[in-house]
């Protein structure tokens, strides 16, 4: 591509690890930023040791989990617990626009890279800290992983069936949500620096960002005193609203009816069996009241169809609907994702050719330019000698001293 | 931080968080609604449960920090007014059906020919291209397609969705990012562009683990309640305690070892560690632990945790550096001393100024700018006068004539 990338003159010194931090810097890297991931060979990023591994061989360069959250970055290994390692990290920071970290609050300052310290090295530096619960306040020492954000914000307790324990997807959802806010914060900080010449310190948390995604329920509590709780697949403003069984093993179709027109269309598609004319289902409040029965009746109709056949029928009738898919559908069969190149096949030095996830945002003039993810310390030589200008002799000396570990 | 940008926001519930976040960041957001109001105003919950387009808390939540005008862009005169507004705007965000604005002659190509610096961000279920772009779908359908529902829920029940309309929030937040990237490009190269966000792809990105698991291991994870499919053995991540639940997953890696040493020590203080005492966490690789082994450990942990309250567990976890969190109800969230200390709640007056409502105050903290919710969501057409009269210079007569003819 001859086109220039929007962030190509931006350098990021990235101390972040595991999920939420790396997914934020991945976004910047995919849009052209030079993201230098500062890693440790003795204190490996947990992401590098997360399944799945290529050929099931546990190895820091073989984790596809890591690959998916670290595309387009450079990796160096550096012992930042050694004074010489600290000096080198500071050299990287001096040439950086952004410093990113996601340690337990306080750790980065103890390591010698607190914001006040960084400002001395680079007065207009933009620094972002990503944590579960925040850098200030009485619970700032809280440490945790992805699902803590969903739990503390109330999201976890609101997901699942009303008569069962709450559930959460088999991912850490806050690791999906928080990075978006971190990226938005960093990009607006770059714009602010363009205008004012000033850097800044950014503090994003999983709890506070998750609350932004459930704020109608929060306002409901503050206004009406209502504690919204889990309601399965139902919605307060649509009915039917759920997934309904189709032919085959564990096949389901999502159907959501918001308007009376959509309800009529659904009834027509079902060929208007007698029950659809019943007063019990005449409008949204009635359908909400008799929802269990409604769901049972619709399920008795949907079970006669293959999933794809049912989707076609419902789409022709203008009823909002979609199939419950699994990962094999996404990777192998989804023509929409393929047409829009949502995954691109790229070659990784150890893993070989495989899918790399692309940001879901298409910019007509400055599109993402995704590259593969780095092996551990793959760019040591480039970053330390070429980018920082450390002489070959000194590089070897530092190498022998174990500074690049 | 974005105080010099003017944004026209034509989104419905699918994209309204995008403009709200840009508004939080300081941009001037003008929500452009149909005369009579955006249909998203019909989404509850409502203040005092009164079903009224001016009382939707859903609308309040995602449209604070915006001004509001009404305009019928389907009428030719309305379109001309929209063109005037867009020539003075930096950014337009919309979530209309793909091709709809083009058909009205106010698509990106039309508008950018007059205002080449214009940024237009479109947030739609499948994006502007591809064979599914016109599919009728809602949040639950998109979540279903993303693969996230197939891994959420109990094995003996249907797949279940996450609460509220998460995919719309994901699409909107990506919309904010796309818009900001376009702003940076504009600063650098002087040209605007079209930003095309697919809510579906945003949700698929949320499913960040399973596509790789399928590609590399040909393995499909089925929904398994609260068992986390991290390794061969699935770990428990929901635990009952005296007065509720906490979440905790036995952590791996070197930092996880430190945490588990601390956890075991805590259990040992009351002689509850049992078989956990024998484990050398420092040399343990979780991916090699069998389900049977893990089940034994987790039984001990369950019996231990159930003796405590959420408060007790939270305090112990913070003190001992254990990654454990309580499952809060909204009343717990509202009373949380951490959020209060960080001034996370901001009281905003209702339109009649009789009451205040507490809002989540900020998306993140910045050392430079006080990024906060500043104003409630607009009433229908609340800023018509300000925008049409003061900004576009329409006379009172013109405005009242436009009103009469249902254009504004």
CATH of the domain at B271: 3.30.1540.10
Query: Do the Cβ atoms of A188 and B1 come within 8 Å?
Result: yes
Parts of chain B with a pLDDT under 50: none
Same domain flag for B146 and B253: no
Task: Tell me if A149 sits within 8 A of A206, measured CB to CB.
Answer: yes
Q: What is the CATH number of the domain that holds B167?
A: 3.40.50.10540
* Chain B, window 65-124: residues with a beta carbon less than 8 angstroms from a chain A beta carbon: none
Same domain flag for B130 and B279: no
Chain B nearest CA to A383, separation (Å): 26
Question: In sequence order, what are the beta bridge partners of A12?
Answer: A35, A98
Chain B hits for A189, CB-CB cut-off 8 Å, are 1, 366, 368
Same domain flag for B325 and B347: no
Same domain flag for B311 and B347: no
d(CA A235, CA A292): 13
**Contact B127/A at CB under 8 A:** yes
Query: Do the Cβ atoms of A222 and B130 come within 8 Å?
Result: no
3-class secondary-structure state, position A277? helix
Chain A hits for B331, CB-CB cut-off 8 Å, are 221, 227
Whether omega before A240 lies within 30 degrees of 0, making that bond cis, reads: yes
Closest CB to A364 among B194, B326, B337: B194
- In the structure, how many helices (H) and strands (E) does chain A have? 17, 12
The total number of structural domains that make up chain B: 2
Chain A nearest CA to B332, separation (Å): 8
Query: Do the Cβ atoms of A151 and B325 come within 8 Å?
Result: yes
Query: Do the Cβ atoms of A363 and B181 come within 8 Å?
Result: yes
Q: What is the pLDDT of residue A2?
A: 47
Most B CBs within 10 Å, among A167, A226, A310, A367, to test the B interface:
A167
d(CA A101, CA A201): 11
In sequence order, what E strands does A190-314 have?
Answer: 200-205, 241-245, 252-256
- Residue B266 belongs to a domain: yes
**Contact B295/A at CB under 8 A:** no
3-class secondary-structure state, position A28? helix
Up-side HSE of residue A361: CA atoms within 13 Å toward CB?
A: 28
Query: Do the Cβ atoms of A336 and B200 come within 8 Å?
Result: yes
**Contact B180/A at CB under 8 A:** yes
Closest CB to B163 among A7, A147, A155: A155
Closest CB to A327 among B25, B136, B220: B220
Most A CBs within 10 Å, among B201, B252, B314, to test the A interface:
B201
Residue B353 burial (C-beta neighbours within 10 Å; 0-12, 13-18, 19+):
exposed
| Closest by Cα among B179, B134, B209 to A173 | B209
Q: What is the pLDDT of residue B134?
A: 96
Same domain flag for B316 and B365: no
Q: What is the pLDDT of residue A275?
A: 96
Closest CB to A230 among B151, B163, B199: B163
d(CA B293, CA B277): 14
Q: Model confidence over B220-233: pLDDT tens digits?
A: 999 999 998 777 78
- Residue B119 belongs to a domain: yes
d(CA A179, CA A262): 36
Question: How many residues in chain A?
Answer: 405
Query: Do the Cβ atoms of B193 and A185 come within 8 Å?
Result: no
Name, in order, each residue with C-beta under 8 angstroms of B378's C-beta and a sequence gap of 6 or more: B31, B63, B66, B67, B68
- Residue B16 belongs to a domain: yes
Domain encompassing residue B252: 237-329
Query: Do the Cβ atoms of A330 and B323 come within 8 Å?
Result: no
Which H or E run contains B403? Answer: helix B396-404
State chain A's mean pLDDT as an integer: 96
**Contact B284/A at CB under 8 A:** no
Chain B hits for A318, CB-CB cut-off 8 Å, are 136
Q: Model confidence over A63-116: pLDDT tens digits?
A: 999 999 999 999 999 999 999 999 999 999 999 999 999 999 999 999 999 999
Q: Cα B135 vs. chain centroid, distance in angstroms?
A: 23
Closest CB to A258 among B138, B175, B215: B138
Chain A hits for B344, CB-CB cut-off 8 Å, are 208, 211
Same domain flag for B182 and B289: no
A175 is catalytic: yes
Query: Do the Cβ atoms of A335 and B208 come within 8 Å?
Result: no
Task: Tell me if B159 sits within 8 A of A324, measured CB to CB.
Answer: yes
Chain A nearest CA to B131, separation (Å): 6
Same domain flag for B89 and B136: yes
The domain boundary residue, chosen from B295, B329, B363: B329
Same domain flag for B259 and B360: no
Q: Cα A192 vs. chain centroid, distance in angstroms?
A: 25
- Helix axes A174-196 and B166-189, enclosed angle (nearest 10): 20
Most A CBs within 10 Å, among B23, B156, B162, to test the A interface:
B162
Most A CBs within 10 Å, among B325, B326, B347, B372, to test the A interface:
B325
Q: What is the pLDDT of residue A130?
A: 96
Q: Model confidence over B276-304: pLDDT tens digits?
A: 999 999 988 887 889 999 999 999 999 99
- Residue B124 belongs to a domain: yes
Query: Do the Cβ atoms of A167 and B146 come within 8 Å?
Result: no
Q: Model confidence over B237-264: pLDDT tens digits?
A: 999 999 999 999 998 877 889 999 999 9
Same domain flag for B318 and B351: no
Cα–Cα distance list, A340 to A308, B200, B386 (Å) = 21, 11, 42
- Residue B284 belongs to a domain: yes
Same domain flag for B152 and B198: yes
Up-side HSE of residue B354: CA atoms within 13 Å toward CB?
A: 3
For residue B389, the 8-state DSSP code is: I
* A366-A367-A372 Cα angle (round to 5): 130
- Residue B230 belongs to a domain: no
If one counts every other C-beta atom within 10 angstroms of the C-beta of residue B306, the result is 11
d(CA A65, CA B19): 32
d(CA B239, CA B303): 10
Closest CB to B136 among A166, A236, A315: A315
Q: Does the ipTM surpass 0.90? A: yes
- Residue B369 belongs to a domain: yes
**Contact B49/A at CB under 8 A:** yes
Question: In sequence order, what are the beta bridge partners of B67?
Answer: B30
Chain A nearest CA to B169, separation (Å): 6
State chain B's mean pLDDT as an integer: 95
Which residue segments constitute the domains of chain A, with CATH numbers given? 11-213+340-400 (3.40.50.10540), 241-328 (3.30.1540.10)
Considering only the C-alpha atoms of chain B, give the largest distance between any 2 of them, rounded to a whole number of Å.
85
Same domain flag for B242 and B298: yes
d(CA B351, CA A212): 22
Q: Which of A14, A61, A175, A369 is catalytic?
A: A175
**Contact B323/A at CB under 8 A:** yes
Query: Do the Cβ atoms of B174 and A256 come within 8 Å?
Result: no
The domain boundary residue, chosen from B329, B364, B389: B329
Helix boundaries (H) for B55-125 = 57-63, 76-87, 100-103, 108-114
The domain boundary residue, chosen from B289, B307, B329: B329
Look at strands B238-241 and B244-247 and give their pairing: antiparallel
d(CA A193, CA A191): 5
Task: Tell me if A232 sits within 8 A of B160, measured CB to CB.
Answer: yes
Same domain flag for B42 and B178: yes
d(CA B47, CA B58): 10
Question: How many residues in chain B?
Answer: 408
- Helix axes B166-189 and B16-24, enclosed angle (nearest 10): 50
Which H or E run contains A234? Answer: none
Q: What is the pLDDT of residue B233?
A: 85
Parts of chain A with a pLDDT under 50: 1-2
Chain B hits for A144, CB-CB cut-off 8 Å, are 323-325
Q: Model confidence over B324-366: pLDDT tens digits?
A: 999 999 999 999 999 999 999 999 999 998 899 999 999 999 9
Query: Do the Cβ atoms of A242 and B213 come within 8 Å?
Result: no
Chain B nearest CA to A36, separation (Å): 20
């Amino acid at each position: 591509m001859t086109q220039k990338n929007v962030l190509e003159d931006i350098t990021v010194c990235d101390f972040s690890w595991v999920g939420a931090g790396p997914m934020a810097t991945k976004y910047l890297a995919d849009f052209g930023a030079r993201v230098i991931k500062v890693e440790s060979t003795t204190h490996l990023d947990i992401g590098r040791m997360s399944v799945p591994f290529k050929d099931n061989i546990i190895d820091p360069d073989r984790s596809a989990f890591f690959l998916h959250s670290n595309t387009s970055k450079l990796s160096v290994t550096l012992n930042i617990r050694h004074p010489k390692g600290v000096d080198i990290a500071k050299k990287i920071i001096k040439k950086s626009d952004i410093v990113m970290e996601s340690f337990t609050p306080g750790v980065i300052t103890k390591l010698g890279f607190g914001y006040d310290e960084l400002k001395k090295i680079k007065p207009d530096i933009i620094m972002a800290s990503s944590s579960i619960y925040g850098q200030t306040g009485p619970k700032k020492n809280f440490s945790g992983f992805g699902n803590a954000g969903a739990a503390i914000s109330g999201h976890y307790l609101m997901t699942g069936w009303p008569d069962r324990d709450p559930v959460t997807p088999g991912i850490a959802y806050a690791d999906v949500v928080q990075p978006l806010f971190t990226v938005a914060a960093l990009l607006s900080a770059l714009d602010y620096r363009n205008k004012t010449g000033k850097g800044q310190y950014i503090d994003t948390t999983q709890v506070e960002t998750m609350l932004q995604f459930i704020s109608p329920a929060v306002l409901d509590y503050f206004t009406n005193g209502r504690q919204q709780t889990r309601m399965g697949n139902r919605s307060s403003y649509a009915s039917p609203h759920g997934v309904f069984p189709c032919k085959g093993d564990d096949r389901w179709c999502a159907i959501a009816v918001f308007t009376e027109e959509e309800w009529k269309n659904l009834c027509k598609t079902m060929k208007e069996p007698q029950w659809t004319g019943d007063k019990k289902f005449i409008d949204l409040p009635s359908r909400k009241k008799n929802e269990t029965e409604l769901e049972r009746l619709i399920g008795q109709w949907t079970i006669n169809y293959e999933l794809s056949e049912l989707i076609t029928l419902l789409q022709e009738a203008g009823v909002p609907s979609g199939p419950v898919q699994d990962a094999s559908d996404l990777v192998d069969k989804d023509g929409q994702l393929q047409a829009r190149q949502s995954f691109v096949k790229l070659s990784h030095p150890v893993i070989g050719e495989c899918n790399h996830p692309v940001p879901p945002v298409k910019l007509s003039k400055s599109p993402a330019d995704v590259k593969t993810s780095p092996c551990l310390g793959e760019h040591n030589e480039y970053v330390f000698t070429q980018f920082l200008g450390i002489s070959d002799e000194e590089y070897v000396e530092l190498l022998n001293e174990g500074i690049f570990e | 931080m974005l105080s010099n940008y003017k944004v026209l926001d034509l989104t419905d519930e699918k994209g309204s968080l995008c403009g709200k976040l840009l508004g939080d960041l300081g941009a001037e957001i003008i929500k452009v609604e149909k005369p009579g109001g955006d249909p998203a105003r019909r989404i509850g919950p409502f203040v005092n449960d009164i079903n009224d387009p001016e009382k939707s808390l859903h609308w309040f939540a995602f449209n604070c920090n915006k001004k509001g005008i009404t305009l019928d862009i389907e009428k030719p005169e309305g379109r001309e007014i929209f063109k005037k507004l867009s020539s003075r705007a930096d950014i337009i965000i919309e979530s209309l059906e793909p091709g709809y604005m083009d058909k009205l002659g106010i698509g990106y190509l039309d508008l950018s020919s007059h205002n080449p610096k214009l940024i237009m961000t479109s947030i739609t279920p499948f994006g502007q291209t591809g064979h599914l772009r016109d599919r009728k779908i809602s949040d639950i359908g998109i979540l279903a397609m993303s693969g996230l529902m197939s891994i959420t829920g109990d094995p003996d029940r249907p797949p279940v969705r996450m609460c509220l309309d998460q995919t719309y929030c994901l699409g909107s937040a990506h919309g904010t990012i796309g818009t900001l990237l376009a702003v940076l490009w504009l600063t650098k190269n002087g040209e605007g562009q079209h930003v095309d966000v697919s809510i579906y792809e945003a949700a698929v990105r949320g499913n960040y683990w399973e596509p790789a698991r399928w590609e590399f291991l040909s393995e499909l994870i089925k929904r398994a309640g609260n068992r986390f499919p991290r390794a061969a053995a699935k770990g428990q991540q929901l635990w009952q305690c005296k007065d509720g639940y906490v979440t905790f997953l036995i952590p791996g890696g070197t930092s996880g070892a430190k945490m588990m040493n601390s956890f075991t020590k805590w259990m040992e203080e009351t002689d509850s560690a049992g078989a956990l005492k024998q484990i050398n966490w420092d040399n343990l690789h979780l991916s090699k632990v069998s389900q049977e082994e893990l089940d034994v450990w987790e039984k001990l942990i369950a019996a231990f945790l159930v003796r405590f309250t959420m408060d007790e567990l939270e305090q112990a976890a913070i003190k001992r550096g254990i990654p454990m969190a309580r499952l809060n109800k909204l009343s717990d969230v509202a009373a949380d001393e951490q959020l209060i200390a960080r001034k996370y709640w901001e009281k905003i007056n209702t339109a009649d100024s009789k009451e205040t409502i507490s809002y989540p105050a900020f998306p993140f903290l910045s050392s430079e700018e006080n990024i906060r919710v500043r104003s409630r969501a607009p009433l229908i057409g609340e800023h018509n006068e300000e925008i049409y009269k003061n900004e576009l210079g329409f006379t009172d007569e013109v405005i009242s004539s436009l009103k009469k003819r249902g254009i504004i």
